[in-house]
């Protein structure tokens, strides 16, 4: 009897497992074509990626290929590498991945290439790896755009704080380096502050900076979170019109802040294109042996002139 109870429990457990996984399995769209591509990014459950997911899905639909979008929910490099390893084991036809470390991905990308799987880097690049091309912003160049806009809003010789939630992260560092060049040319007095990865703490860091330096002319961020925090700090302190704010990425909060005048601009790296072009390049390579090429997706600046339209598109998941 007891054994019977155990066995039936086991069966139920297996059934539950099957149902759960079956549900999970359904989420990948069935392919009309044989190609199966895998897009793997760091911090994959971040809202930042929503337009990128739309981009991969749009590309997958129009090309008739099977694309799955996945990645570790942390910045854990080990896990990210493991997931590329798993994609190789699953024998996919192409991998698009962010490469958030300069050297850690070299081996695994080389292994994928050896297995004949094309690899395209997106969002963050590791030029030393054997990825075939990089689709994303050119971070230093995007940083210069930030710098130019800072100068535009605080004027020459102003004093600003530039926040980063992950000091040491290559692309954020590069953006800052780009901004620095422009700011140096225009005699802007800047301080680089670590605002941490927690939004509440980040806002407090800007407020603390203001307490220490009441003459500040602007708060800026080199990433999505720090930009969101810069505008929130202006709003909290009630300094709109006196202290400028802005930075990177189209977080809904940042867009709302621009609309309400708490922030002046944000530089868009167009994540939609990163997903869209990467899948297209993988398809073209598989189908016609067309080698992937580098694509710079950093382009537009969103400010009060176009923020309304962008908000609409963002709500639909395209920007």
Q: Are strands 301-303 and 295-296 parallel, antiparallel or unpaired?
A: unpaired
Separation between Cα atoms, residue 115 and residue 69, nearest integer Å? 21
> Which among 15-23, 56-64, 242-250, 271-279 is the span making contact with another protein, rule CB under 8 A?
15-23
Judged by CB under 8 A, does residue 200 bind another protein? no
Write the DSSP assignment of 10-35 as a string of letters: HHHHHHHHHHHHHHHHHTSPPPSSS-
CA distances from 297 to 154, 167, 274, 277 (A): 27, 23, 7, 9
Separation between Cα atoms, residue 67 and residue 54, nearest integer Å? 11
> Which among 9-17, 54-62, 117-125, 139-147 is the span making contact with another protein, rule CB under 8 A?
9-17
Judged by CB under 8 A, does residue 290 bind another protein? no
Separation between Cα atoms, residue 137 and residue 134, nearest integer Å? 9
Binding mask 70-109 for another protein (x = CB under 8 A): xxxxxxxxxx-xxx-xxx-xxxx--------xxxx-xx--
Judged by CB under 8 A, does residue 61 bind another protein? no
Separation between Cα atoms, residue 234 and residue 202, nearest integer Å? 12
Are 117 and 106 within 8 A, CB to CB? no
By CB under 8 A, name the one of 98, 166, 226, 230 that touches another protein: 166
Which lies closer to another protein via its Cβ, residue 3 or residue 289? 3
Binding mask 205-244 for another protein (x = CB under 8 A): ----------------------------------------
Question: Which residues here bind another protein, judged by CB under 8 A?
Answer: 5-6, 9-10, 13-14, 16-18, 20-21, 24-25, 27-28, 36, 38, 44-45, 68-79, 81-83, 85-87, 89-92, 101-104, 106-107, 166-168, 194
């Amino acid at each position: 009897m007891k054994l019977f109870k155990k066995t039936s429990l086991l069966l139920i457990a297996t059934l539950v497992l099957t149902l759960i996984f079956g549900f999970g399995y359904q989420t990948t769209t069935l392919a009309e074509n044989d190609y199966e591509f895998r897009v793997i990014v760091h911090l994959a459950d971040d809202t930042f990626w929503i337009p990128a997911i739309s981009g991969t899905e749009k590309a997958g639909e129009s090309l008739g290929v099977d694309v799955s979008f996945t990645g570790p929910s942390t910045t854990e490099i080990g896990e990210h590498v493991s997931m590329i390893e798993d994609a190789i084991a699953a024998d996919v036809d192409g991998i698009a991945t962010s490469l958030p470390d300069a050297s850690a991905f070299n081996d695994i990308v080389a292994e994928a290439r050896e297995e004949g799987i094309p690899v395209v880097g997106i969002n963050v690049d590791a030029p030393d790896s054997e990825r075939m091309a990089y689709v994303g912003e050119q971070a230093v160049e995007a940083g210069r755009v930030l710098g130019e806009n800072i100068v535009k809003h605080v004027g020459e010789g102003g004093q600003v704080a530039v926040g980063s939630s992950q000091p040491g992260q290559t692309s954020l560092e590069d953006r800052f380096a780009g901004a620095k060049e422009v700011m140096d040319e225009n005699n802007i007095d800047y301080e680089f502050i670590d605002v941490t990865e927690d939004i509440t703490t980040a806002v407090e860091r800007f407020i603390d900076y203001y307490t220490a330096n009441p003459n500040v002319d602007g708060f800026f961020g080199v990433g999505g979170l720090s930009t969101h925090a810069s505008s929130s700090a202006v709003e909290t302190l009630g300094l709109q019109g006196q202290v400028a704010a802005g930075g990177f990425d189209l977080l809904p909060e940042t867009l709302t802040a621009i609309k309400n005048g708490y922030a002046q601009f944000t530089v868009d790296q167009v994540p939609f294109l990163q997903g869209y072009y990467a899948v297209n390049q993988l398809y073209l390579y598989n189908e016609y042996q067309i080698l992937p090429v580098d694509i710079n997706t950093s382009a537009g600046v969103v400010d009060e002139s176009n923020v309304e339209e962008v908000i609409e598109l963002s709500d639909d998941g395209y920007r």
